[in-house]
Amino acid sequence: MKTDDLIALLSTNVEPVDRNAVVRTLSVAIIGATVAALGIAFAGLGFRPDLTTTRALIYLAIKLAFAIGIVGLAMIYLMRLARPGGERMMSPFVIAVPFLAVVILAAISLWSAPPLYWERMIVGEEWLECLLSIPIIAIVPFAISIWAVRKAAPTNLARAGAFAGLVAGGLSAMAYALHCTDDSLPFIALWYGGTIVLCTIAGAALGPRLLRW
Amino acid sequence: MTDLEIELKALMLASLRGDPASHRALLDRLSRRLRAYYKGKLGVVGRGVVEAEDLVQEAILAIHLKRHTYDPREPLTPWIHAIARYKLIDFLRRNRASPAEVPIDDADDVMAHDDNADAESTYDVRRLMQRLPKGMQCAIEAVKLDGLTVAEAARRCGLSEPGVKVNIHRGLKALAALIARETQT
């Protein structure tokens, strides 16, 4: 077939195009992914029973701020990465800011506590549950994010996959925070931060296979 | 901003509004630039004119199918570059050519040269279309090849009007996938 014939075929009866399609699809996806993460966390683990105490609320707020900060930043990048050439328009290091902030806060909180408490602050009571729950809860949000990015046209598949993983990991951490009763900054930095990074690495590894178009 | 960018972006914006003449002019201009680019790249690994033409058509289909991902606030040329390069890398990987043999540089100018020597590609769209589900086949034939309106096509194919549009979109996507498989040598 000649290229001219193909162009003629494609140009017959063209429809107007919705220019907001990418942003809208990704927005719908993030809402769906949030609902899914909250639903799975609630059904599988339940929310923490002491949610009315001040201490619990403060730590819940810290965890949510960390997770929502990551999701917000990651979404901005994902919206760009979903479009051809979007990877040129960004320096991915801004995304390290929430991680750095929580690590610095964790270091300050360790430094101001007696070393006797360090182990409990770092390991907490439910580190294994946290290590397993965040990646597992992230699976459905990850699938939804990948679906949305596939509707667009990423040209750096590993990076787009990584940011889809980061969004999913952040949403999952947000949902898990409603259950988790380990209230210490070192715990959040290590187990929340660590598992979200794991989700990101998994996304980067899966991106080239899942996002090809 | 170059004259070419201004001219092509104006065509792109009109084409996004649904203007067929602009869409055609845009794809026509782009196909010449892409042809020169791909011939230059594939020439390095001793691949021929026909394969370059396959790639031109893959890229044109991709530009058509993914035109909703163009952000009108951004210049058009980098968007085209990204698609052209992505399809080249994908083609090389499918054909197990080492990407190291074909230097793909961010600074490469896809739009640098013009080549209007239209050639036949290795596949035949009408033949490939027979592999599509009936609804998609009928919708594409009616609207895209015979030039019927969506309402007329809906009557001919026994589909609703939105159904015709969905079938055309899915059909072209499926066709692009078939072409990609077909051009695997």
Question: Average pLDDT of each block of 10 consecutive residues along chain A (213 residues)?
Answer: 83 85 95 96 89 88 95 94 87 88 94 88 88 95 97 95 97 95 92 96 96 91
Contact call for A13 and B143, based on CB within 8 A: yes
Please provide the average confidence, as pLDDT, over all residues in chain B: 84
Burial A17-33 (b: 16+ CB within 10 A, else e): bebeebeebbeebbebb
Contact call for B69 and A212, based on CB within 8 A: no
A127-151 and A21-44 helices, crossing angle to 10°: 150
All residues at 6 or more sequence positions from B165 whose CB lies less than 8 Å from its CB, including other chains: A15, B150
Distance in Å, alpha carbon of A160 to nearest chain B alpha carbon? 14
Report d(CA B92, CA B109) in Å as an integer. Answer: 19
Does B78 reach chain A within 8 Å, measured CB to CB?
A: yes
Report d(CA B24, CA B29) in Å as an integer. Answer: 9
Q: Is B17 left (phi over 0), alpha (psi -120 to 50) or beta?
A: alpha
User: According to the model, what pLDDT value does residue B12 have?
Assistant: 95
Return the residue matching tokens 């509707």.
A151
Contact call for B64 and A213, based on CB within 8 A: no
Are B82 and A213 in contact by the 8 Å Cβ rule? The answer is no
Return the residue matching tokens 């052209």.
B84
For chain A, the domains span: 55-210
Are A137 and A172 in contact by the 8 Å Cβ rule? The answer is yes
Query: Among B54, B59, B73, which residue's Cα sits nearest to residue A155?
Result: B59
Contact call for B20 and A213, based on CB within 8 A: no
Please provide the average confidence, as pLDDT, over all residues in chain A: 92
User: According to the model, what pLDDT value does residue B106 have?
Assistant: 63
Distance in Å, alpha carbon of B5 to nearest chain A alpha carbon? 16
The CA R_g of chain B, rounded to the nearest whole Å, is 17
SS3 B120: strand
Model pLDDT for residues A84-104, shown as the tens digit of each residue: 998 887 777 889 999 999 999
Does B85 reach chain A within 8 Å, measured CB to CB?
A: yes
Report chain A residues whose CB lies below 8 A from the CB of B119: 2-3
Query: How many other C-beta atoms are found inside a 10 Å radius of the C-beta of residue A96?
Result: 11
Q: Is the pLDDT of residue B108 over 70?
A: no
Contact call for A3 and B149, based on CB within 8 A: no
> Can you list the domains of chain B with their CATH numbers?
1-122 (no CATH), 124-185 (1.10.10.10)
Query: How many other C-beta atoms are found inside a 10 Å radius of the C-beta of residue A41?
Result: 25
User: According to the model, what pLDDT value does residue B184 have?
Assistant: 63
Task: List the beta bridge partners of residue B120.
Answer: A2
